[in-house]
C-alpha cells in the first residue's frame, strides 16, 4: 500500500462495471470489503456519519483479534445494511478516495455489495413496495383509494399492524398521497413567458417532476412553476417519465435502474433537442442523472447529454442571477431560516446555491446545517432502522432548535419531515413543520 497520508488532488469516481460477471463474484467482493474495512478501521474519521461505521468498528473491537480479520464474513452485511448511499463519507471525510492509491469509494463498494445480495436473494416484499414508487403512487393516488391510504397512515392501530406485518415502523413519517397529482395539475400547462437564453442557461425548463413531486407533494412543482415563470423562465412538464431509479439503486436492483434509464433518457433527450434545460426539485433525482447513471452507463451518449443539462432548481436560479436575469423584486423578508443542506445536494458539488439565492431576499438570514438527517427515503421508515435514523437526526433537530429561526427548511422534503420528527422527539408539543425553499422563495416574491 502507498505510504502517502491523505490526498491533495480533487476526488474522482470510476465507472461501475456492474454488467461484468466479476462484479457479482462474492469471494472477490469479500476480499475488497476486507481491504476497505481495514483501511476504515485504521482511520475512523467517519464514525460520526451513518451507522455503518459504528457498526463496523464495534464488530472489530468486539472480535478476538481486535482487527478486521477477526470479524466473521457473514457480519460484513451488517455494515452494508446500514449504508444508504448518502455519499458523505466519500465527499467530506475520506482522505483515501481516488485518485489516492488506496482507491476507497465506500458508497460504491456498498452499492456493489447490495447488488450482489439482491442478485442472490432478491428483495423482501416491503423493500419491493417501498422502492416501487411509480406503482405505489399510481395505486395510492386513485381517488377512492387515496383517502383510505392517507387515513390509515395516520392511525396508530393500523400503523402497528403495518409494522408487525410489513416492517414499516409505526412512528415513522410516511408521505401523504394526492389524487390531484402534479401531472393532472400542470400536465397541459403552457407558459405564457418565453425564456431568454443566457451563457449557461436556455431560459426554457422541462420539469422532471419526480415520483415524490408528482404523487406526494404536487405543491412543490407548483411553487417551482410560479417562481420560474415570475423570472421569465418558460416551463413545461416532462410527461410520461418514470422514477429516476434511485430507490432501486439503493436496493441493489441495477437491472431495474437500467429499465428506468431506458424509459426516461429518450424523453429527456427529445426535450433537450427542443431547446429545454432540465430541472428536478428532489436532490436525489438530480444526483441520479448527474452522477449515478453516468457512472453506470459511461458510454451512453444520451445519459451524458442529460448529465450536462440537468440542474438543481436553485443552481439554475443562481446561474440566471449571474447572467443578470433573476428578478430581485422581493416583497416579503424571510427573517431567520435554519437551512438543512441535503446530502444528495452536497454531493453534486454545486455549492450552497439555495442559501445564496435566499440570501438575496432583504432582511433574511440563512443558517446552514450540513449534516445528514438519516432519512434516505426508505431507511428511516424501516422497523429495524428507524431508531437509528432518529439518533442520526437528533443533532440536526437540536441545531434547528438552537437557531431560534422563523422557518426551517430542506431541499429534500423527506429530510424536512425527518427533522420534524426529531423536533417532536425533543419536545412533544413541537408542531412546527418544514417549509421547502421553493415555497420560501415564492413567499418572498409574494406570488
Distance CA 171, CA 168 (A): 9
Same domain, yes or no: 69 and 104: yes
Same domain, yes or no: 186 and 300: yes
Same domain, yes or no: 232 and 311: yes
Of 320, 344, 372, the one marking the end of a domain is 320
Of 303, 320, 337, the one marking the end of a domain is 320
Q: Give CA angle at 215 (214, 218), nearest 5°.
A: 55
Same domain, yes or no: 187 and 312: yes
Q: Give CA angle at 81 (77, 85), nearest 5°.
A: 125
- Average pLDDT taken over every residue of the chain: 93
Same domain, yes or no: 387 and 306: no
pLDDT (average), residues 144-161: 86
Per-residue pLDDT at 9: 74
pLDDT bucket at 4, cuts 50 / 70 / 90: low
Of 292, 320, 348, the one marking the end of a domain is 320
The tens digit of pLDDT for each residue in 236-255 reads 999 999 999 999 999 999 99
Three-class DSSP labels, the chain: CCCCCCCCCCCCCCCCCCCCHHHHCHHHHHHHHHHHHHHHHHHCHHHHCCCHHHHHHHHHHCCCCCCHHHCCHHHHHHHHHCCCCCCHHHHHHCCCCCCCCCCCCHHHHHHHHHHHHHHHHCCCHHHHHHHCHHHHHHHHCCHHHHHHHHHHHHCHHHHHHHHHHHCECCCCCCCCCCCCCHHHHHCCCCCCCCCCCCCCCCCEEEECCCHHHHHHCHHHHHHHHHHHHHCCCEEEECCCCCCCCHHHHHHCCHHHHHHHHHHHHHHHHHHHHCCCEEECCCHHHHHHHHHHHHHHCCCCHHHHHHHHHEECHHHHHHHHHHCCCCCCCCCCCCEEEEEECCHHHHCCCCCCHHHHHHCCCCCEEEEEECCCCCCCCCHHHECCCHHHHHHHHHHHHHHHHHHCCCEEEECCHHHHHHHHHHHHHHCCCCCCCCCCHHHHHHHHHCC
Distance CA 80, CA 56 (A): 9
Distance CA 24, CA 398 (A): 42
Same domain, yes or no: 208 and 143: no
Same domain, yes or no: 187 and 306: yes
Domain count within the chain: 4
| 25 falls within a domain | yes
| 177 falls within a domain | no
Same domain, yes or no: 153 and 186: no
Percent with pLDDT over 70 in the chain: 98
Residue that the C-alpha cell 441520479 belongs to: 288
DSSP lists the bridge partners of residue 311 as: 279
| 138 falls within a domain | yes
pLDDT bucket at 47, cuts 50 / 70 / 90: confident
Same domain, yes or no: 209 and 152: no
Q: Is the pLDDT at 2 greater than 50, yes or no? A: no
Distance CA 345, CA 92 (A): 13
| 174 falls within a domain | no
Per-residue pLDDT at 6: 61
| 172 falls within a domain | no
The tens digit of pLDDT for each residue in 161-215 reads 889 998 999 999 888 999 999 999 998 888 888 889 999 999 999 999 999 999 9
Q: What is the CATH number of the domain that holds 388?
A: 3.40.50
| 433 falls within a domain | yes
Same domain, yes or no: 297 and 347: no
| 434 falls within a domain | yes
The values of phi and psi at residue 368, to 5°, are: -70, 145
- Side-chain-facing half-sphere of 384: CA atoms under 13 Å: 8
Same domain, yes or no: 186 and 269: yes
Contacts of 335 (CB under 8 A, 6+ apart): 363, 364, 365, 405, 406, 407
pLDDT (average), residues 277-289: 96
| Domain with 366 in it | 328-445
Q: Are 235 and 225 in contact (CB under 8 A)?
A: yes
Same domain, yes or no: 301 and 192: yes
Per-residue pLDDT at 429: 67
The tens digit of pLDDT for each residue in 201-225 reads 999 999 999 999 999 999 999 999 9
The structure's pTM equals: 0.92
The values of phi and psi at residue 385, to 5°, are: -120, -10
| 8 falls within a domain | no
Amino acid at each position: 500500500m502507498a505510504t502517502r497520508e491523505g490526498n491533495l488532488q480533487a476526488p474522482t469516481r470510476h465507472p461501475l462495471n456492474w454488467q461484468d460477471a466479476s462484479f457479482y463474484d462474492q469471494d472477490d467482493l469479500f476480499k475488497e470489503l476486507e481491504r476497505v474495512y481495514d483501511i476504515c478501521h485504521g482511520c475512523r474519521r467517519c464514525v460520526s456519519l451513518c451507522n455503518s461505521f459504528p457498526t463496523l468498528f464495534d464488530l472489530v473491537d468486539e472480535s478476538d483479534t481486535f482487527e478486521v480479520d477477526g470479524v466473521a464474513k457473514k457480519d460484513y452485511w451488517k455494515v452494508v445494511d446500514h449504508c444508504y448511499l448518502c455519499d458523505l463519507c466519500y465527499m467530506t471525510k475520506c482522505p483515501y478516495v481516488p485518485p489516492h492509491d488506496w482507491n476507497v469509494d465506500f458508497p460504491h463498494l456498498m452499492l456493489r455489495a447490495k447488488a450482489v445480495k439482491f442478485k442472490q436473494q432478491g428483495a423482501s416484499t416491503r423493500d419491493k413496495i417501498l422502492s416501487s414508487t411509480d406503482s405505489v403512487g399510481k395505486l395510492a393516488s386513485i381517488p377512492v383509494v387515496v383517502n383510505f391510504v392517507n387515513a390509515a397512515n395516520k392511525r396508530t392501530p393500523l400503523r402497528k399492524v403495518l409494522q408487525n406485518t410489513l416492517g414499516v415502523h409505526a412512528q415513522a413519517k410516511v408521505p401523504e398521497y394526492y389524487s390531484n397529482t402534479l401531472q393532472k395539475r400542470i400536465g397541459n400547462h403552457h407558459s405564457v413567458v418565453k425564456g431568454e437564453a443566457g451563457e449557461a442557461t436556455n431560459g426554457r425548463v422541462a420539469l422532471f417532476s419526480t415520483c415524490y413531486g408528482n404523487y406526494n407533494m404536487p405543491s412543490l412543482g407548483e411553487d417551482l412553476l410560479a417562481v420560474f415563470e415570475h423570472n421569465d423562465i418558460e416551463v413545461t412538464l416532462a410527461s410520461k417519465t418514470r422514477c429516476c431509479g434511485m430507490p432501486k439503486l439503493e436496493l441493489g436492483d441495477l437491472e431495474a435502474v437500467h429499465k428506468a434509464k431506458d424509459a426516461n433518457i429518450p424523453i429527456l433527450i427529445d426535450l433537450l433537442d427542443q431547446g429545454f434545460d432540465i430541472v428536478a426539485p428532489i436532490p436525489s433525482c438530480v444526483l441520479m442523472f448527474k452522477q449515478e447513471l453516468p457512472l453506470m452507463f459511461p458510454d451512453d451518449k444520451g445519459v451524458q447529454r442529460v448529465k450536462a443539462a440537468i440542474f438543481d432548481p436553485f443552481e439554475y436560479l443562481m446561474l440566471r442571477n449571474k447572467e443578470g436575469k433573476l428578478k430581485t423584486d422581493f416583497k416579503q423578508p424571510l427573517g431567520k431560516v435554519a437551512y438543512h443542506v441535503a446530502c444528495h445536494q452536497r454531493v453534486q458539488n454545486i455549492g450552497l446555491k439555495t442559501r445564496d439565492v435566499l440570501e438575496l431576499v432583504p432582511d433574511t438570514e440563512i443558517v446552514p446545517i450540513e449534516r445528514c438527517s438519516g432519512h434516505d427515503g426508505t431507511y428511516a421508515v424501516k422497523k429495524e432502522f428507524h431508531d437509528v435514523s432518529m439518533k442520526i437526526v437528533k443533532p440536526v433537530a437540536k441545531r434547528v432548535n438552537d437557531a431560534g429561526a422563523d422557518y426551517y427548511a430542506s431541499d429534500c422534503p423527506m429530510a424536512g419531515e425527518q427533522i420534524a420528527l426529531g423536533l417532536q422527539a425533543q419536545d412533544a408539543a413541537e408542531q412546527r413543520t418544514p417549509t421547502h425553499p421553493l415555497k420560501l422563495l415564492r413567499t418572498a416574491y409574494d406570488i
